[in-house]
A and B are shown apart, each in its own frame.
Chain A
């Protein structure tokens, strides 16, 4: 047996140790991502592919009236494609964090070793959000080649890249949705994941403005009250999707001075709830 050189006392400051640990945590996640990249691409491809296939290929072909056909269909494509980017970012947050966490906190407790890293426990959760966000950015990028290929003749989105919005809103949306994933992953017991999908993920996605811009919801009223347009303001995905419309198209969208602060607010809210939940799950 090799002789031991035992450290009887901490050799590094808490800050230095934490910085190194954060690096190690993210490196571990990215290594796992690299090892399973094929799987990652497949599960990331499937949703945007199906959305584009049904709405931009099948519907125009059979003349069904989502956006109609011809110029109307192309207009719909311009609305839909950024929505697909938004929903992909949201699903990445749920899959890469909430589902992974359910496993790691579940029967195998395989998060144990990382939780024992020489850093504050909240940093382990932050590392998850960081690597989840990276996956969100990749998922967002994957949408464009699909949208460019999967559509009926002439039904193409008019993409116009607004770089300032892209480099700010995409990462912001990814962090907000990864933080949402952290909240979900730490709030639901592993055995209740089905419940999470039914009662949280589905309502958020269907009422998240993927298929329609928020500005178009005005006609849904009771009396003079635009109830749906008001209600969905509680949905964080609305701001993500509107932000993607602002970043990637010239389609009508919510004002940027609403999108930015609200997304920052949601990110901060989810992150603080998520980190608190995470700590509670780890300590007793």
Chain B
């Protein structure tokens, strides 16, 4: 589609010496103006995918286009329209906060005056003006992350890539960054972010691709993904034994049970249309002769989707 900022076709990466591909025949299309999430556990291939799109990883086969430009054939052109925030702090330690922005502008061909003005403006926008002349060593993790976002959007890229942007941030800084990204997106910025936090994908992303072992297992809006589970309530019961027995009893006696799962002493049931779910669960358990230690109900999350797709939890 003409409006797709990123298109990949059967994109595959096999690292030298590895026999399984890190990214395996990936087909993606990211639309202009959306926040697109790559959600998956460690080793799913998220960073590799982002690496190919930002020209740092050379694909083994397949094709990837950013703003209609082939990343392998014209990496320098692709870099003109990409902004990148990596997971690690990659600020230039030899330069001040302000200089980190200013020289980024110079690298991207902005003149001295434009670059100065834009650096001032972005420091203001990102509430970092007070730190302009400070060494980047003086910044907290959250401030460094904000500065990296400011640097990445300095040259007004068509796509902003963020690799695990909130890993290692405290909850407050994480929320602040979410707000910032939402605001940027509100102003029209296309964003691609990788994450293994399902709340992050759920909160921020217009569409999410759930990845595992280099494959996309599902791709849709967070709501549609959650709806696809067929359940509206997730019931979690803690028992001291007889988990399997309870699972069978719930599936038979509770009504509306879509699926059940036993992991150690925890039984989960995905349920649709649960009226008076808690008392009825206790009744079913008592009738089956299983002692309930704890009981919780929640809405389905992307974690639920992931478990249904892979049979394992996102964060093990």
Contact = CB atoms under 8 A, between A and B. Distances in A.
Interface string B1-44: 00001000000000100000000000000001000000000000
Interface string A96-110: 000000000000111
Interface string B40-83: 00000000000100101110000000011100001111011110
A118 B69 CA distance: 13
B91 interface: yes
B265 interface: no
A33 B81 CA distance: 30
B104 interface: yes
Nearest to B76: A14
A4 B184 contact: yes
A120 B100 CA distance: 21
B91 A6 contact: no
Given A3-B187, A120-B76, A283 B157 contact: no
B94 A10 contact: no
A129 B316 CA distance: 47
Contacts of B77: 10, 14, 17, 118
Contact of A283 (B58, B67, B100, B103): B58
Interface residues of A, number: 43
Contact of A28 (B74, B95, B157, B183): B95
Given A10-B67, A12-B109, A32 B94 contact: yes
A282 B79 contact: no
A17 B109 contact: yes
A24 to B, nearest CB: 4
Which residue among A5, A17, A116 has the maximum number of chain B CB atoms within 10 Å of its CB? A116
A228 interface: no
A113 B107 contact: yes
B2 to A, nearest CB: 11
Which residue among A2, A8, A16 has the maximum number of chain B CB atoms within 10 Å of its CB? A8
A21 interface: yes
A85 B79 CA distance: 41
A17 B80 contact: yes
Interface string B125-141: 10000000000000000
A192 interface: no
A231 B304 CA distance: 70
Contacts of A32: 94-95
Contacts of B187: 1-4
Contact of A1 (B74, B99, B183): B183
20 contacts: A4-B184, A6-B158, A6-B188, A7-B81, A7-B157, A8-B67, A8-B81, A10-B77, A12-B80, A21-B108, A28-B103, A28-B107, A31-B99, A110-B90, A112-B84, A112-B86, A113-B104, A113-B107, A118-B108, A282-B56
Name the 5 nearest CB pairs between A and B, nearest first. A20-B109, A24-B106, A112-B90, A24-B107, A117-B107
Interface of B: 5, 15, 32, 51, 54, 56-58, 67-69, 74-77, 79-82, 84, 86, 88-95, 99-100, 103-104, 106-109, 121, 125, 151, 153, 155-158, 183-184, 186-190
